[in-house]
Amino acid sequence: MTKASPRRKASAWLPIAKLLLLALYLTFDYAAFAQRVASLGPSLELAAFAILYTALVLALVGAAFARPAPVRIVLAALLAAGSLMLHGYEWTTGAPLVYDAFETMVASRGDAGNAMAQHGATLLRAGLAALVLFAAIALPPGRLALPFGLGWIVPALAVAALAGLLYLRGGEGARGLPAPFSPLAQGAIMAGLHALKKDRPRQAVAFAPAPARGDGDVVLVIDESISARYLDINHPAGVRSGLAQERSGVVTANFGVAAAVANCSSGSNLTLRFGGTRESYREAAEDMPSIWAYARRAGRRTVYLDAQREDGALQNLMTPAEAREIDDFVQLGGTPVLERDRELARQLGERLGNGVAEFILVNKVGAHFPIADKFPLAAASYRPLPPRGRSAGITDIAALPGQGADTEEEWRRYRNAYRNTLTWSTGGFFDLLLPRVAGSGAVLLYTADHGQNLHEGGGPGGPTHCVPEPRGGEEGAVPLVVIAATGGGPGEGPSAATDWEAIAATNRDAMSHFRIFPTMLALLGYPPEQTKAFYGPTLLAPEKDPLTFTPNYNASLGRDPIWYRIDPAALATPPTSDYRARRLSVSD
């Protein structure tokens, strides 16, 4: 008896084992599959979906029976990676991975580690599915190997065909199909568009700045995930913002509830740095000078204080070319996450008084989830709290806007943690900063990248922002405040000496992010009459804003963005029952 006999037996079983593994792999997605089938109903579309599904399954089988081992292993790795991406996104967000979402995910790929910490269990399941797929394809096919390179030609054709289909459908329609193919097809579209893109430099600054009226710093402070009504300046049940009290030498002009550009960080941030109106923001982001270029042309030193990333990592769609326009690029990697916003306030306060005319843009840590550990326990006035100790080193998870909480009770605790975070990192920030503003001649604009849906109306599950179909205005409703040192010189144009409080009273609850860029240009000395045609009116202009934000900022593949209107009166009220009933309880 030789050893060849059992081995032959094993090789006879291999094709069956591979097919069983593939079938097992496909069951991981039964929920999405069933949902898609149910949503299509008995229709021609269902027939088309069935054909597409079968073709993609055959492509997986083809890959599994490729003859050369290296080809099989490369295919297995690519398909497993695609599977991990799709499941990682869809299972944590509950939203389909359409092309816009794919672009956003690629843009925020630096946050994968944070996502792992937040969504560990879900991503582990996605990893397990990918492993099953890898094994199904990589194992040797025995005697059933495909000839003529069919093993790789069939899956490659499947990716190309799906890419074409998704392109024609604006990046949508892959929901419920075998998971690995959609990210690979989206990646192929992205690579194709990138290759076709003209690599031309941005336009130079075309306006001539007059000498600015004040010589104090011009500052934009971008907070993170701040729901307008959770601050005391916008609602009696809001928490301490540090902006409500009178302080000598400083004016805080509250524009009330404003509309963000988008309900996701990267889009809002990009347009805050490049400007543009709802009609021109994409052209501005593509072709026009950055705020850094305008500030430099106006003789300012450009300063970026980023509390969210470390070690020079770029975020919010900033490119290395843009980063080179920044004179002082500051990140706070050495400071614990909990202390970063306060450290920002200290550094910013010093810069306001350093005698250098600067333009400063600040990305705060703010209140992006996870937030259970974003404040010290001793500073937790609002209880009960969610479990602590799991997310202390995490600033945010931009890539995977997943569940903040699941049940109504978890959401209640989440909102309490959110209140404590705001008190600590926004209230604390301004308490440290505002005494330093007096006498500096500076003008600071304060807003947040987007708002939050904190599920006040009850109902379990669901993300806080970045969803493709927001259920209300909360995700786009942000605070907008101008903080100015009183005093300042005479002359044309806005400065610290402008009557900001009167302007804010007139334009309350009627402004948006789109008004910030032209206002910064005016503060830098650019005449608003010249910048208005492309960048729109400033915060000082009487024109009311439509108060809309977009959930599909990228609006790629020839589509136009959708705009959601915010009705300030209809925004959710922070429920005081979250903490009032149990606030006196000793057990918490």
Which span sits near Zn ion by CB under 5 A: 142-150, 197-205, 314-322, 441-449? 441-449
Which span sits near Zn ion by CB under 5 A: 243-251, 404-412, 443-451, 561-569? 443-451
Which span sits near Zn ion by CB under 5 A: 50-58, 130-138, 426-434, 448-456? 448-456
User: Among residues 387, 386, 389, which one has the least CA distance to residue 338?
Assistant: 389
Given the complex with Zn ion, which of 449 and 474 has the nearer CB atom? 449
Q: CB of residue 368 vs Zn ion: minimum separation in angstroms?
A: 5
Work out the burial of residue 498: count CB atoms within 10 Å of its CB; fewer than 13 is exposed, 13-18 middle, 19 or more buried.
Answer: buried
Contact 258, 568 (CB under 8 A): no
Q: CB of residue 210 vs Zn ion: minimum separation in angstroms?
A: 35
Given the complex with Zn ion, which of 111 and 509 has the nearer CB atom? 111
Q: Is 363 in the site for Zn ion (CB under 5 A)?
A: no
Q: For residue 459, what are its two tokens?
A: 């109902």
Q: Is 104 in the site for Zn ion (CB under 5 A)?
A: no
Instruction: Give helix 44-64 / helix 30-40 axis angle, nearest 10°.
Output: 150
Contact 397, 369 (CB under 8 A): yes
x/- site string to Zn ion, residues 201 to 230, per CB under 5 A?
-----------------------x------
Q: CB of residue 280 vs Zn ion: minimum separation in angstroms?
A: 23
Given the complex with Zn ion, which of 271 and 498 has the nearer CB atom? 271
DSSP for residue 459:
-
Q: Residues 250 to 279: which contact Zn ion by CB under 5 A?
A: 265
Residues 561, 566, 572: CA angle, nearest 5 degrees? 130
CA distances (Å), 247 to each of 24, 346, 370, 433, 450, in order?
65, 18, 33, 12, 28
Q: CB of residue 440 vs Zn ion: minimum separation in angstroms?
A: 28
Given the complex with Zn ion, which of 397 and 540 has the nearer CB atom? 397
Q: CB of residue 364 vs Zn ion: minimum separation in angstroms?
A: 10
Distance of alpha carbon 444 from alpha carbon 434, whole angstroms: 10
Given the complex with Zn ion, which of 449 and 509 has the nearer CB atom? 449
Which of 217, 341, 449, 474 binds Zn ion (CB under 5 A)? It is 449
Q: CB of residue 174 vs Zn ion: minimum separation in angstroms?
A: 26
Given the complex with Zn ion, which of 83 and 265 has the nearer CB atom? 265
Size of the site for Zn ion (CB under 5 A): 3
Given the complex with Zn ion, which of 92 and 498 has the nearer CB atom? 92
User: Among residues 510, 504, 518, 515, which one has the least CA distance to residue 477?
Assistant: 510
Which residue, judged by CB position, is nearest to Zn ion in the bound state? Answer: 265
Q: For residue 259, what are its two tokens?
A: 């509309």
Cis amide bond preceding 370, omega within 30: yes
SS3 96: coil
Distance of alpha carbon 429 from alpha carbon 418, whole angstroms: 15
Given the complex with Zn ion, which of 232 and 449 has the nearer CB atom? 449
Contact 286, 312 (CB under 8 A): no
Q: CB of residue 342 vs Zn ion: minimum separation in angstroms?
A: 20
Work out the burial of residue 196: count CB atoms within 10 Å of its CB; fewer than 13 is exposed, 13-18 middle, 19 or more buried.
Answer: exposed
Q: Is 306 in the site for Zn ion (CB under 5 A)?
A: no
Q: For residue 577, what are its two tokens?
A: 């029952």
Given the complex with Zn ion, which of 325 and 449 has the nearer CB atom? 449
Q: CB of residue 365 vs Zn ion: minimum separation in angstroms?
A: 11
Q: CB of residue 310 vs Zn ion: minimum separation in angstroms?
A: 17
Q: For residue 410, what are its two tokens?
A: 């978890």
- DSSP conformation letters of 510-557: -EEGGGHHHHHHHHTT--HHHHHHHH---TTS-PPP--EEBS-SS--T
Q: CB of residue 434 vs Zn ion: minimum separation in angstroms?
A: 24
Chain residues binding Zn ion by CB under 5 A are 224, 265, 449
